Each structure stands twice: as structure tokens, then as C-alpha cells.
Amino acid sequence: MVDLGESLEMVKSGSNNNYMDCYEFAKKYILSSSKPFTCEAVRDSYIGPVPKEPRVWGSVFADLKKEGLIQEAGRTKYKNKIGHSREVRLWEPYSPIPVKQGDIISRLQVLYRVQSIIEGSIFAVNLLSGNMVSMKYEPTMKIYREI
């Protein structure tokens, strides 16, 4: 028997599955989304080469979640009649806790003062050591961490 991770990898790497096309389209869809969405809505909006295996979308969404690009926003019913109105996840783009220049971030009992934010990277001063550090938001843990 094949476990879920191995199964998703098989679907992703299969011939004519167009995984990368679907993945890139989904990322663009997420960035332009202002309200929660379903995998079905993304798939129905897709205008690229049709994957031979429709389960590739499950692999796309599993990777988007793993990479911290989306988070669950609730549940809704599957719209297409083939789904028999089963319950499905609603997704939304993952949005980190906003910070701005001058804010103080606490991490593992150390305080940092935000100096600048450039293309998603935060440059802050460790107030204990005085060292400048680069920080990123870690979506799976919902924290900022040094990189």
C-alpha cells in the first residue's frame, strides 16, 4: 500500500500531469485573491494544458500549504454535481503578522527592533547584542525567525 506522501509525489511526477503549470497558475490565483477560495474554484479558472490526472490539484494544494502560501479559512460545499455537495476546504492566502519600521519583535526572550523591510525580508537589530539580523516570517509556526 502506498502512503499519502508517496501517492502525491507519484501524481505530481506523472507524465502529462502539468504539475508546474497548475502550481504556477495557483500561485498567481492566490496572489490576486481577495476572498477565500476552494481548489475547485482555482481548477475551474485554470486555462492551461489540462492535466491527464485531475488529482494533480491535490498535490498542488498540499505543496502550497506546506510552503506556507495558503491557510485553511473554513469549509464549504463542493459546487460541481460530481462532488455530491461534499464538504471541502476554503483557503486564503497566508498573511503574516504585519510589522513596520520601528516595531519591536520578541523571539525566544530576545527583542529585535525592525530597521527596514525589503521584499519580505526584515532587517532588525538584536537589542541584546546590538547585531543586525535578517528575519523571515515562518508561517507554519506563526513567528519571525533569524535567517
Q: What is the pLDDT of residues 84-116, one digit of tens each?
A: 778 888 998 876 677 788 888 777 777 888 888
Maximal C-alpha separation, the chain: 60
Which CATH architecture is the domain 4-93 placed in?
Orthogonal Bundle (1.10)
Mean pLDDT of 48-70: 88
Radius of gyration over alpha carbons of the chain, in Å? Answer: 19
The whole-chain average pLDDT of the chain stands at 81
Phi, psi torsion values for 41, nearest 5 degrees: -65, -40
Mean pLDDT of 69-77: 86
Looking at residue 12, its pLDDT comes to 61
Mean pLDDT of 12-18: 67
pTM of the model: 0.59
Confidence of residue 60 (pLDDT cuts 50, 70, 90): very high
Looking at residue 5, its pLDDT comes to 64
Confidence of residue 15 (pLDDT cuts 50, 70, 90): low
Question: Distance of alpha carbon 17 from its chain centroid, rounded?
Answer: 21
